[in-house]
């Protein structure tokens, strides 16, 4: 396994011992855009942007009727409530961050399962999760399912999340190539997401630590949190181009969504773009 990109720690938290201390807080600016798209009757994506810029979330719901919408809406409601209540966003240490993330995701998972059990129309509903969290000048990313988070850093676009799809597992095992996986009939089949006890507990008995990517925010960084619909009509090269050239995060989010629509995406599309300033 190759080492992680500079400033990142795979499967754990960024090592604060190597981070400069007492840095002035970096300013963040952001924009968000979500559309139903050209082929779906309703939008099962939900997003949440904290008004103070402390966290950013995209959830892509799954399930018949309106069940997918309800699952993603629950994630976008429960997780922000827990994080806002339990986390010190200026001085929170690694233990507090881990506990708050664990509690937030666990609560959302439990709530989705409960409503799925109580309401027959919501049976087997679920949702992905893509979350960017800022504590001080550190970032923490959590991904469940196939909604990705990207970081544009030093001109390089790095995917910070791992797709929990059957095809990605086959690619990792060497059974499929990346090009074969892109058009495989099981590319949308997920084995880990919110709304299933088995899928959630597949994370080492429910421990999220190995699903967290952490690092130090740097001036000029740009982040994209999106649903997989954004990638249905765009490749990563085009994403990098759009993130690089835009001068405002709202414009970048809209350009990414619209370019994906033009590229033929058949899904709901949601994008949050975050710029890190000095």
pLDDT tens across 207-227, in order? Answer: 677 789 999 999 999 999 999
pLDDT tens across 18-35, in order? Answer: 344 456 789 999 999 999
The residue written with tokens 């370019």 in the block is: 259
Report the CATH fold assignment for 26-276.
Phosphatase 2c; domain 1 (3.60.40)
Range name among 98-112, 155-169, 191-205 with the lowest pLDDT average: 191-205
> Which helix (DSSP H) or strand (DSSP E) does residue 111 occupy?
helix 94-118
- Mean pLDDT score, 11-20: 38
Percent of the chain with pLDDT over 70: 87
pLDDT for 79 equals 97
- Rounded Cα distance between 229 and 227, Å, is 5
Distances (CA, A) of 164 to 60, 69, 145: 13, 20, 5
Residue 12 has pLDDT above 70, yes or no: no
pTM of the model: 0.88
- Rounded Cα distance between 75 and 60, Å, is 10
- Rounded Cα distance between 266 and 278, Å, is 38
Residue 13 has pLDDT above 50, yes or no: no
pLDDT for 200 equals 56
Going by pLDDT thresholds of 50, 70 and 90, the confidence category of residue 199 is: low
Residue 105 has pLDDT above 70, yes or no: yes
- Rounded Cα distance between 193 and 179, Å, is 24
- Rounded Cα distance between 82 and 94, Å, is 17
Residue 245 has pLDDT above 90, yes or no: yes
Of residues 188 and 85, more confidence is placed in 85
Q: CB of 88 within 8 A of CB of 95?
A: no
Going by pLDDT thresholds of 50, 70 and 90, the confidence category of residue 55 is: very high
The residue written with tokens 């590229």 in the block is: 263
- Rounded Cα distance between 270 and 32, Å, is 8
């Amino acid at each position: 396994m190759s080492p992680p990109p500079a400033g990142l720690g795979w499967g754990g938290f960024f090592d604060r011992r190597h981070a400069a201390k007492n840095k002035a807080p970096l300013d963040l600016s952001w924009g968000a855009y979500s559309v139903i798209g050209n082929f779906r009757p309703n939008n099962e994506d939900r997003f949440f942007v904290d008004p103070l810029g402390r966290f950013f979330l995209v959830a892509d719901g799954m399930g018949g009727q309106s069940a997918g919408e309800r699952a993603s809406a629950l994630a976008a409601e429960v997780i922000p409530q827990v994080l806002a209540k339990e986390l010190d966003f200026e001085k929170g240490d690694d233990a507090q961050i881990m506990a708050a993330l664990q509690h937030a995701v666990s609560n959302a998972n439990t709530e989705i399962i409960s409503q799925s059990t109580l309401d027959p129309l919501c049976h087997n509903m679920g949702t992905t999760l893509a979350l960017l969290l800022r504590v001080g000048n550190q970032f923490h990313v959590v991904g469940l399912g196939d909604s990705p988070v990207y970081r544009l850093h030093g001109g390089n676009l790095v995917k910070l999340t791992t797709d929990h799809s059957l095809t990605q597992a086959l690619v990792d095992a060497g059974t499929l190539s990346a090009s074969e996986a892109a058009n495989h009939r099981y590319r949308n089949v997920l084995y880990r997401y919110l709304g299933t006890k088995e899928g959630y507990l597949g994370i080492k008995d429910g421990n999220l630590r190995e699903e967290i990517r952490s690092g130090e925010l740097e001036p000029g960084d740009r982040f994209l949190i999106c649903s997989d619909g954004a990638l249905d009509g765009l490749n990563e090269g085009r994403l990098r181009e759009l993130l690089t050239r835009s001068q405002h995060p709202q414009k970048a989010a809209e350009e990414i969504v619209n370019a994906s629509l033009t590229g033929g995406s058949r899904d709901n599309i949601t994008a949050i773009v975050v710029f890190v300033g000095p």
